[in-house]
Amino acid sequence: MKRRDFIRNALCATASSALFTSFAGKMSIAHAAALSGGKMLLGSDYRALVCVYLYGGNDAFNMLVPASGTARTAYAAARGALALPAGDLLALHPLAAPSDGSQYGFNPAMPQLAALFNQSGSSPLAIVANVGPLLHPITKAEYEAGTVPVPAQLFSHSDQTVTWQRTHANAIDRRGWGGRLADMFHETNPNQQLSMNISVDGENVFQAGDEVVPYFVGQGGATGIQFVQDWLPSRRDAFLALRDASYPNALQREYARVMRRSMDNEVMINAALESEPPLATTFPDTHLGRQLRMVARLIHVRGALEMQRQIFFVALGGFDTHDNQLEDQATQLAELDGALAAFHSAMVEIGTADAVTAFTASEFGRTTSINGDGTDHGWGSHHLILGGAVNGRHIYGTMPDLTVEGPDDAGWGQIIPKIAVDQYAATLARWYGVAPGDMATVFPNIGRFGPSDLGFLS
């Protein structure tokens, strides 16, 4: 390969990746300074956040289901043939009654999470009700009159996925609140070579920051650059010589630096993983189970990798249930149930349960209305938080009124959220180490809403 051809291909590859966005941001000193404010927050203990993203829009109203009261009546009327029988639900026993006073149960596919929620003593699982992207608190009357703005392109998968993961619902860049946390905390880690943000599901907006970009690993460990590994030694040596050369152009130097860092990280991570004692916890051999097993292994070797703060991203798809919902969602929720339960067991095993918090996210919930055997794109949704620091066995927030055309129905059964993603994320960020006075630097809209700490974490 000619040197000029290699450089041209390298530039094209870099420009088409998340790295280019971050690199371009770094080239603007004023922009970076404005975001960082010259402040670096440091944490002295180990803490990790694990985002479990449910692509497609999980139908949380068939995940957490009313079992009694007026909520059950409204749910059954709205859901018709998709209503889960009350007798089939896995009963939940919260320490305090939900806001509507009704009883609730989990989908029958979630026995292990139901057991964790109901665990006596210290439950590690909590639920946050009716969360969604908001620009301001909004009522149905305000929504119908158009007097309060809402996030752009509501009910669109791609748009709301990005909106959920960004620092606020009217942001125009592709930087996420996990990336913003990493910008603030990355200097905590003695190891500055490896990104504190690691994804086992590829590229995402959530982990993209100005100073920090996520590092991608596979379900079996760090992956090498395949075309280099497959080359004959002579070609590989020529490539390494190009990689290690000095370049006058800033973009060339950055590409070479990233390439060196990627190859060094592969060796470092796999060496650490190979030296770890095996986990006794058995994970299900599913897509999400394998991802969370890798996260558990990486947390297990946090000492060898010299990590004090980390943020992980895993994902499970298949929640866009326009048809065949009862069967398809049960399969997905069973996978979520098994993988999350195993992950929590692994954290208990290695003594990090109090230091690791996993949480779900999804671009939106589903409509309460049905289209025969499925549901359509909604808005508000319920979410799960799991970890030893969780104030569990509680359902936080206000349970929505599922009445057809009721006070929380924006139309077609799309439920208006009562809690903003900003509040949900800010509660996680506070536990992670962000001081209340610094919260607006991560979530610029947080002052528009109610409490910035919902109370689900110690």
User: Is residue 353 one of the residues assigned to a domain?
Assistant: yes
Q: For residue 234, name the pLDDT band (cuts at 50, 70, 90).
A: confident
Least confident of 40-44, 59-63, 71-75, 296-300: 40-44
Predicted local distance difference test score (pLDDT) of residue 37: 38
Residue 341 contacts residue 52 (beta carbons within 8 Å)? no
Residue 318 contacts residue 328 (beta carbons within 8 Å)? yes
User: Is residue 453 one of the residues assigned to a domain?
Assistant: no
Tokens of residue 247, six digits:
């370049």
Q: What is the CATH number of the domain that holds 240?
A: 3.40.720
Enter the DSSP assignment of 415: B
Predicted local distance difference test score (pLDDT) of residue 227: 67
pTM: 0.90
How many Å separate Cα 105 from the centre of its chain? 24
User: Is residue 456 one of the residues assigned to a domain?
Assistant: no
For residue 296, pLDDT beyond 60: yes
Q: For residue 257, name the pLDDT band (cuts at 50, 70, 90).
A: confident
User: Is residue 458 one of the residues assigned to a domain?
Assistant: no
> What are the two backbone dihedrals, phi and then psi, of residue 209, each rounded to the nearest 5 degrees?
-115, -170
Residue range 129-172, pLDDT digits in tens: 999 999 999 999 999 999 999 999 999 999 999 999 999 999 99
Please state whether 393 falls in left (phi above 0), alpha (psi between -120 and 50) or beta: left
User: Is residue 457 one of the residues assigned to a domain?
Assistant: no
Helices then strands, each counted (H, E), the chain: 16, 12
Residue range 48-103, pLDDT digits in tens: 999 999 999 999 999 999 999 999 999 999 999 999 999 999 999 999 999 999 99
CB-side neighbour CA atoms (13 Å) of 417 = 34
Number of domains in the chain: 1
Kind of pairing between the strands at 381-386 and 356-361: antiparallel
User: Is residue 455 one of the residues assigned to a domain?
Assistant: no
Residue 340 contacts residue 333 (beta carbons within 8 Å)? no
DSSP string, 302-360: HHHHT-SEEEEEEEE-----SSSHHHHHHHHHHHHHHHHHHHHHHHHHTT-GGGEEEEE
Predicted local distance difference test score (pLDDT) of residue 42: 52
Residue 54 pairs with which residues in a beta bridge?
316
User: Is residue 285 one of the residues assigned to a domain?
Assistant: yes
Closest CA to 190 of 304, 272, 92, 292: 304
Rounded Cα distance between 158 and 364, Å, is 11
Q: Which residue has the tokens 């895993």?
A: 314
Rounded Cα distance between 182 and 124, Å, is 25
- Helix crossing, 250-275 with 18-26: angle to 10°? 120
Predicted local distance difference test score (pLDDT) of residue 88: 98
Rounded Cα distance between 216 and 188, Å, is 21
For residue 357, pLDDT beyond 60: yes
Q: At 65, which helix (H) or strand (E)?
A: strand 64-66
User: Is residue 275 one of the residues assigned to a domain?
Assistant: yes
For residue 276, pLDDT beyond 50: yes
Closest CA to 217 of 326, 138, 314, 133: 314
Residue range 1-20, pLDDT digits in tens: 333 333 334 333 333 333 43
Domain that holds residue 377: 3-448
